[in-house]
Chains A and B, each alone.
Chain A
Amino acid sequence: MKPIEIIDIDVSYGAKKILEAITFNADASEILGIVGPNGSGKTTLLKAMSRVVARDNGDIRLEGRDLDSFEHRELARRVAVVPQDISIGFDYSVRDVVMMGRHPYIGRFASETAQDMEICDRAMRLANVAHLAGTSVRDISGGERQRVLIARALAQEPKILLLDEATSNLDVSHQVEILNIIRDLAEEITVVSVFHDLNLAAHYCDRLLLLKDRRVYALGTPSEVLTREKIREVFGMEVLVKSHPLTGRPYVLPVYMHQSGSGGNRRVHVVCGGGTGSDILHLLHTAGFAVTCGILNVLDTDYGTAMHLGIPCVAEPPFHNITPKSLAGLRECLDGADTVIVTAMPIGKGNLDNLQVLLDYPKKPIIFYARDHTARMEDFTGGEAWAVLTNLEARGAHRIEGAAELLAYLSRDGSGCDRTP
Chain B
Amino acid sequence: MRRTAPIIIVTLTGVLLISMASAVALGPSGISPGSLFSSDNAWMILWEIRLPRVIAAALVGCALAVAGTAMQGLFRNPMADPYIIGTSSGGALGATIAIVLFAGTGRPVLAFIGAMVATFTVYFVARKGGKIPIETLLLSGVALSTLLSALLSFLMYTAGQSLHQIMFWLMGGFWNISWNDVFAALPILIGVAGIYLFARDLNILALNEEDATHLGVNVERVKRILLALSAFLAGIAVSIAGSIGFVGLITPHVMRLIVGPDHRVLFPAAALAGAILLVWADTLTRTFTSDMPVGIITACFGEPFFIYLLRSRMKA
User: Which residues of A pack against B, CB within 8 Å?
Assistant: 50-52, 72-77, 79-81, 83, 86, 88-92, 96-97, 100-101, 103-104, 106, 108-109, 152, 156
How far is it, in angstroms, between the C-alpha of A175 and the C-alpha of B222 when the chains are bound?
35
B216 at the interface (CB under 8 A from A): yes
Pick the contact of B262 from A80, A83, A96 — CB < 8 Å? A96
How far is it, in angstroms, between the C-alpha of A108 and the C-alpha of B211 when the chains are bound?
19
CB–CB B197/A89 < 8 A: no
CB–CB B261/A100 < 8 A: no
CB–CB B216/A73 < 8 A: yes
Name which of B141-149, B201-209, B290-298 contacts chain A. B201-209
**Chain A residues with Cβ under 8 A from B215's Cβ?**
76, 100-101, 103-104, 152, 156
**Chain B residues with Cβ under 8 A from A74's Cβ?**
216
Least CB distance from B228 to A in Å reads 17
Given A86-B207, A90-B261, A91-B260: A109 in contact with B214 (beta carbons within 8 A): no
B40 at the interface (CB under 8 A from A): no
How far is it, in angstroms, between the C-alpha of A219 and the C-alpha of B24 when the chains are bound?
76
B224 at the interface (CB under 8 A from A): no
**Chain A residues with Cβ under 8 A from B198's Cβ?**
108
**Chain B residues with Cβ under 8 A from A86's Cβ?**
207-208, 211
How far is it, in angstroms, between the C-alpha of A96 and the C-alpha of B262 when the chains are bound?
9
Least CB distance from B256 to A in Å reads 8
CB–CB B260/A103 < 8 A: no
B165 at the interface (CB under 8 A from A): no
CB–CB B200/A103 < 8 A: yes
CB–CB A72/B218 < 8 A: yes
Find the A residue at minimum CB distance from B210. A52
CB–CB A72/B217 < 8 A: yes
Find the A residue at minimum CB distance from B73. A90
CB–CB B218/A91 < 8 A: no
- With an 8 Å Cβ cutoff, the count of chain B residues facing the other chain is 21
B213 at the interface (CB under 8 A from A): yes
Contacts of B250-304 to chain A: CB distance below 8 A? 260-262
Q: Provide the B43-79 mask, 1 if CB < 8 A to any CB of A, else 0.
A: 0000000000000000000000000000000001000
Could you show 21 A-B contacts with beta carbons less than 8 Å apart? A52-B210, A52-B213, A74-B216, A79-B214, A81-B211, A83-B211, A83-B214, A86-B208, A90-B207, A91-B261, A92-B203, A96-B203, A96-B262, A97-B207, A100-B204, A100-B215, A104-B215, A108-B197, A108-B198, A109-B197, A156-B215
Pick the contact of B214 from A52, A96, A106 — CB < 8 Å? A52
Given A89-B206, A103-B204, 18 more pairs with CB closer than 8 A:
A51-B213, A52-B210, A72-B216, A72-B217, A74-B216, A76-B214, A76-B215, A83-B210, A86-B208, A88-B207, A89-B76, A100-B203, A103-B201, A103-B215, A103-B216, A106-B200, A109-B197, A156-B215
The list of the 9 closest CB pairs from A to B, nearest first, reads: A76-B216, A104-B216, A90-B261, A73-B216, A81-B214, A72-B218, A103-B215, A72-B216, A90-B206
Find the A residue at minimum CB distance from B218. A72
Find the B residue at minimum CB distance from A153. B214
Pick the contact of A50 from B197, B201, B214, B218 — CB < 8 Å? B214
Find the A residue at minimum CB distance from B261. A90
Q: Provide the B29-43 mask, 1 if CB < 8 A to any CB of A, else 0.
A: 000000000000000
Pick the contact of B213 from A72, A152, A156 — CB < 8 Å? A72
**Chain A residues with Cβ under 8 A from B218's Cβ?**
72
**Chain A residues with Cβ under 8 A from B210's Cβ?**
52, 83
How far is it, in angstroms, between the C-alpha of A83 and the C-alpha of B211 when the chains are bound?
8
How far is it, in angstroms, between the C-alpha of A285 and the C-alpha of B197 when the chains are bound?
69
Find the B residue at minimum CB distance from A53. B210
How far is it, in angstroms, between the C-alpha of A104 and the C-alpha of B200 when the chains are bound?
11
How far is it, in angstroms, between the C-alpha of A109 and the C-alpha of B207 when the chains are bound?
22
**Chain A residues with Cβ under 8 A from B213's Cβ?**
50-52, 72
**Chain B residues with Cβ under 8 A from A103's Cβ?**
200-201, 204, 215-217
How far is it, in angstroms, between the C-alpha of A103 and the C-alpha of B202 when the chains are bound?
11
**Chain B residues with Cβ under 8 A from A97's Cβ?**
207
Least CB distance from B26 to A in Å reads 37
Least CB distance from A111 to B in Å reads 8
**Chain B residues with Cβ under 8 A from A76's Cβ?**
214-216
**Chain A residues with Cβ under 8 A from B207's Cβ?**
86, 88, 90, 97, 100
**Chain B residues with Cβ under 8 A from A91's Cβ?**
260-261
How far is it, in angstroms, between the C-alpha of A92 and the C-alpha of B256 when the chains are bound?
11
**Chain B residues with Cβ under 8 A from A50's Cβ?**
213-214
Least CB distance from B50 to A in Å reads 38
Find the B residue at minimum CB distance from A14. B129
How far is it, in angstroms, between the C-alpha of A106 and the C-alpha of B198 when the chains are bound?
12
How far is it, in angstroms, between the C-alpha of A313 and the C-alpha of B210 when the chains are bound?
57
How far is it, in angstroms, between the C-alpha of A362 and the C-alpha of B198 when the chains are bound?
89
How far is it, in angstroms, between the C-alpha of A78 and the C-alpha of B131 when the chains are bound?
24
How far is it, in angstroms, between the C-alpha of A173 and the C-alpha of B76 when the chains are bound?
34
**Chain B residues with Cβ under 8 A from A73's Cβ?**
216
Given A89-B76, A91-B260, A108-B197: A75 in contact with B216 (beta carbons within 8 A): yes
Find the B residue at minimum CB distance from A76. B216
Find the B residue at minimum CB distance from A156. B215
How far is it, in angstroms, between the C-alpha of A108 and the C-alpha of B215 when the chains are bound?
14
How far is it, in angstroms, between the C-alpha of A152 and the C-alpha of B216 when the chains are bound?
13
Least CB distance from B201 to A in Å reads 8
**Chain B residues with Cβ under 8 A from A72's Cβ?**
213, 216-218
Find the B residue at minimum CB distance from A78. B216
**Chain A residues with Cβ under 8 A from B260's Cβ?**
91
Find the A residue at minimum CB distance from B219. A72
Find the B residue at minimum CB distance from A149. B211
Contacts of B166-183 to chain A: CB distance below 8 A? none
CB–CB B261/A92 < 8 A: yes
Least CB distance from B215 to A in Å reads 5
Least CB distance from A8 to B in Å reads 24
Least CB distance from A146 to B in Å reads 13
How far is it, in angstroms, between the C-alpha of A351 and the C-alpha of B185 when the chains are bound?
99
How far is it, in angstroms, between the C-alpha of A248 and the C-alpha of B128 when the chains are bound?
51
**Chain A residues with Cβ under 8 A from B211's Cβ?**
81, 83, 86
How far is it, in angstroms, between the C-alpha of A75 and the C-alpha of B201 when the chains are bound?
16
Find the A residue at minimum CB distance from B200. A103
CB–CB B216/A77 < 8 A: yes
Contacts of B126-151 to chain A: CB distance below 8 A? none
Least CB distance from B211 to A in Å reads 6
